[in-house]
Amino acid sequence: MAKPTVAIVGRPNVGKSTIFNRIIGDRVAIVEDKPGITRDRIYGTGEWNGRSFHLIDTGGIEISDDEIVRSIKVQAELAIEEADVIVFMADAKSGLTPADQEVAGILFRSNKPIVLAINKVDNMQREEDVYEFYNLGFGEPVSISGAHGFGIGELLQRVFEELPPDTEDEYEDDVIRVSLIGRPNVGKSSLVNAILGEERVIVSNQAGTTRDAIDTPFEKDGQKYVLIDTAGMRKRGKVYESTEKYSVMRAMKAIERSDVVLVVINAEEGIIEQDKHIAGYAHEAGKAAIFIVNKWDAVEKDDKTLQEFTRKIREQFLFMSYAPVLFVSALTHQRLHRIYPLVNDVAEQHALRIQTHVLNDVISDAIAMNAPPSDKGRRLKINYATQVSVKPPTFVLFVNEPSLMHFSYERYLENKIRAAFGFEGTPIRIFMRRKSDDE
């Protein structure tokens, strides 16, 4: 089910990032505990009344040109392109400014639902200052205070009322949904064309459930696939080329609808920070993943080049050590035939379910080999383990005290589970739950 997208737009210094952090709560902080994940913090997930949504903080989009008005325009246009609902923020402390009116003019032409939020309403005097913002023509403003958390619930309720209906995925369970993600110029378009160009059994080209992806259903060797392609859909022009972070926004929607994500890296340019941002979203979303190193034909090689590039991937993507690496060339079709078997394998691992008694045997053996940690005389006791879901495989350990579980011991248990059952290409999740005395 595809989540809707909400964007926060406004001139600089109105408190967009503070409100962004208020809405996503501690989600980003939890994610950042994982070693190796880098974070640009412009994209998060919010939730209200049981509906979750993507949240964009356009203030995090850095524009190389210092001209403030141009910067605001770029951010507003990106938000209009991506968002289902736009939160237009101004602040009561500064009052209504020409820059606010500039943003309002752009948003008026968008035909998107706009929720007007006035920040820094920290006292009764500021409450009266909100009235002038009615002049913008977006109806009743919501008074909020990022510093004190005031009005956030009312803002989210207004956003909730404007969200579009949920869209169901229209594909059968036996279809493997595959997306290619990566920053601009890694060769996604040529790779998609090369993969599909080999096939003579493409069923159709049809619009996907999100407006910025094209879904191509096809079949190979009896297996049905849908290729979710965002590569050729990126708008051309200076607005969109001015920020590489824009590619993360597009990647998020494709990732959400996928079973298997192909993380495409440009072999000529090597790994850059943006690659880690984009791959990190696939990991957080719990999707199966494969690193596809494209343009391998263009790299001068000796007998150590492949091993050295693989080592760099493992070093730079510590949090995705489970993901296999495949070196290909869209131009020469080198190793393209190996993509399908690998996609099938990791999709199967992503949906793998382990019998409870077999899982507990593995956990018991792991405990016998390496005793759980203790703290101030209290030792962690693991009573029981069970797998509660797949895609990704998710396990719950019933323990005497969850806080006694050290990160390093959790990693040890994950490694033992992987050694026993495989799970190549998929993240796995492990949660602790306190076992009460009466259970």
CATH of the domain at 72: 3.40.50.300
Give yes or no: residues 116 and 17 share one domain: yes
* 16 marked as binding residue: yes
* 215 marked as binding residue: no
Range of the domain at 406: 356-434
Spatial separation of the C-alpha atoms in residues 149 and 164, rounded to whole Å: 26
pLDDT in tens, 70-114: 666 776 777 777 789 999 999 998 899 888 888 888 888 888 999
* 11 marked as binding residue: yes
* 95 marked as binding residue: no
Q: What is the DSSP letter of 427?
A: -
Kindly state whether residue 45 falls inside one of the protein's structural domains.
Answer: yes
* 301 marked as binding residue: no
**Residue 293: predicted pLDDT:** 95
* 48 marked as binding residue: no
Spatial separation of the C-alpha atoms in residues 180 and 267, rounded to whole Å: 16
pLDDT at 417 over 50: yes
* 12 marked as binding residue: yes
Kindly state whether residue 170 falls inside one of the protein's structural domains.
Answer: no
pLDDT in tens, 375-415: 888 999 999 999 999 999 999 999 999 999 999 999 999 99
For the chain, the domain total comes to 3
Category of 392 on φ-ψ map: left (φ > 0), alpha (ψ -120 to 50) or beta:
beta
* 57 marked as binding residue: yes
Give yes or no: residues 34 and 75 share one domain: yes
* 187 marked as binding residue: yes
Least confident of 106-110, 176-180, 285-289: 106-110
How large is the average pLDDT for residues 174-181? 92
* 229 marked as binding residue: yes
Give yes or no: residues 212 and 338 share one domain: yes
Kindly state whether residue 168 falls inside one of the protein's structural domains.
Answer: no
Category of 340 on φ-ψ map: left (φ > 0), alpha (ψ -120 to 50) or beta:
alpha
Give yes or no: residues 369 and 394 share one domain: yes
183 or 91, which is more confident: 91
**Residue 202: predicted pLDDT:** 35
Kindly state whether residue 167 falls inside one of the protein's structural domains.
Answer: no
**Residue 205: predicted pLDDT:** 36
pLDDT in tens, 310-332: 999 999 999 999 999 999 998 89
415 or 41, which is more confident: 415
* 74 marked as binding residue: no
Give yes or no: residues 101 and 12 share one domain: yes
* 415 marked as binding residue: no
* 364 marked as binding residue: no
* 370 marked as binding residue: no
Spatial separation of the C-alpha atoms in residues 227 and 205, rounded to whole Å: 10
Give yes or no: residues 132 and 188 share one domain: no
Give yes or no: residues 220 and 86 share one domain: no
Task: Please say which residue of 318, 348, 378 terminates a domain.
Answer: 348
* 36 marked as binding residue: no
Burial 331-360 (b: 16+ CB within 10 A, else e): eeeeebeebbebbbbbbebbbbebeeeebb
Strand 394-399 relative to strand 382-389: parallel, antiparallel, unpaired?
antiparallel
SS3 assignment, position 232: helix
pLDDT in tens, 119-157: 999 887 788 889 999 999 999 999 999 888 899 999 999
Kindly state whether residue 203 falls inside one of the protein's structural domains.
Answer: yes
* 302 marked as binding residue: no
CATH of the domain at 408: 3.30.300.20
* 408 marked as binding residue: no
* 266 marked as binding residue: no
* 189 marked as binding residue: yes
* 209 marked as binding residue: no
Kindly state whether residue 50 falls inside one of the protein's structural domains.
Answer: yes
**Residue 242: predicted pLDDT:** 45
Kindly state whether residue 169 falls inside one of the protein's structural domains.
Answer: no
Spatial separation of the C-alpha atoms in residues 52 and 42, rounded to whole Å: 17
Give yes or no: residues 288 and 211 share one domain: yes
Kindly state whether residue 105 falls inside one of the protein's structural domains.
Answer: yes
pLDDT range class, residue 240, cuts 50, 70, 90: very low
* 153 marked as binding residue: no
Identity of the highest mean pLDDT range in 23-27, 55-59, 165-169, 225-229: 225-229
379 or 42, which is more confident: 379
Mean pLDDT of all residues in the chain? 82
* 392 marked as binding residue: no
Residue 237 tokens read as: 């022009």
Taking CA atoms, 406 is separated from 374, 402, 439, in Å, by 9, 9, 24
Give yes or no: residues 197 and 232 share one domain: yes
Give yes or no: residues 46 and 100 share one domain: yes
Give yes or no: residues 134 and 214 share one domain: no
* 193 marked as binding residue: no
What backbone phi and psi angles, to 5 degrees, belong to 304? -115, -5
Fill in the amino acid letter for 425. G
167 or 265, which is more confident: 265
* 10 marked as binding residue: yes
Task: Please say which residue of 296, 331, 348 terminates a domain.
Answer: 348
Percent of the chain with pLDDT over 70: 81
pLDDT at 234 over 90: no
* 197 marked as binding residue: no
pLDDT at 216 over 60: yes
Give yes or no: residues 199 and 336 share one domain: yes
* 200 marked as binding residue: no
Task: Please say which residue of 162, 192, 208 terminates a domain.
Answer: 162
